[in-house]
């Protein structure tokens, strides 16, 4: 199981706010930290993976949990042991 460093509740926010809030929160975390983000914007299904790819972060998982999605994003810049 992945250890979560911080949680961001972006439910109720529409594109591009979930990604912008994630970017801001990730800036304050050390490399290798994992951000758990909750979102219910349908566009987040495409926007979050694209953001992670473009910014050099790793999308650890993307799951539906009831009315929202849960994303685990590992901040880029650190090598991770398997």
**Catalytic positions, written as ranges:** 15
Output the pLDDT for position 2: 83
Report how far residue 52's alpha carbon sits from residue 80's, in angstroms, rounded to the nearest whole number.
Answer: 16
Residue 81 belongs to a domain: no
Residue 28 belongs to a domain: yes
pLDDT of 82 over the 60 cut:
no
Q: Are 11 and 35 in contact (CB under 8 A)?
A: no
Residue 27 belongs to a domain: yes
Number of domains in the chain: 1
Residue 59 belongs to a domain: yes
pLDDT tens digits along 2-54: 899 999 999 999 999 999 999 999 999 999 999 999 999 999 999 999 999 99
Q: Report the predicted TM-score, pTM, of the whole model to 2 decimal places.
A: 0.90
Domain that holds residue 43: 6-74
Residue 26 belongs to a domain: yes
C-alpha dihedral, 42 to 34 to 20 to 62, nearest 10°: -10
Q: Give the chain's length.
A: 82
**In CATH, what number is assigned to the domain containing residue 70?**
3.30.110.40
Better-scored residue on pLDDT, 7 or 77:
7
Q: Are 64 and 36 in contact (CB under 8 A)?
A: no
Contacts (Cβ under 8 Å, ≥6 apart) of 60: 2, 34, 72, 73, 74
Residue 34 belongs to a domain: yes
């Amino acid at each position: 199981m992945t250890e979560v460093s911080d949680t961001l509740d972006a439910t109720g926010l529409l594109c591009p706010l979930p990604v912008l809030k994630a970017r801001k929160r990730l800036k304050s975390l050390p490399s290798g930290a994992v951000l758990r983000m909750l979102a219910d914007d349908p566009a987040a299904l495409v926007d979050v993976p694209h953001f992670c790819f473009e910014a050099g972060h790793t999308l650890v998982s993307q799951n539906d949990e009831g009315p929202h999605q849960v994303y685990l994003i590992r901040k880029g810049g650190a090598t991770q042991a398997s």
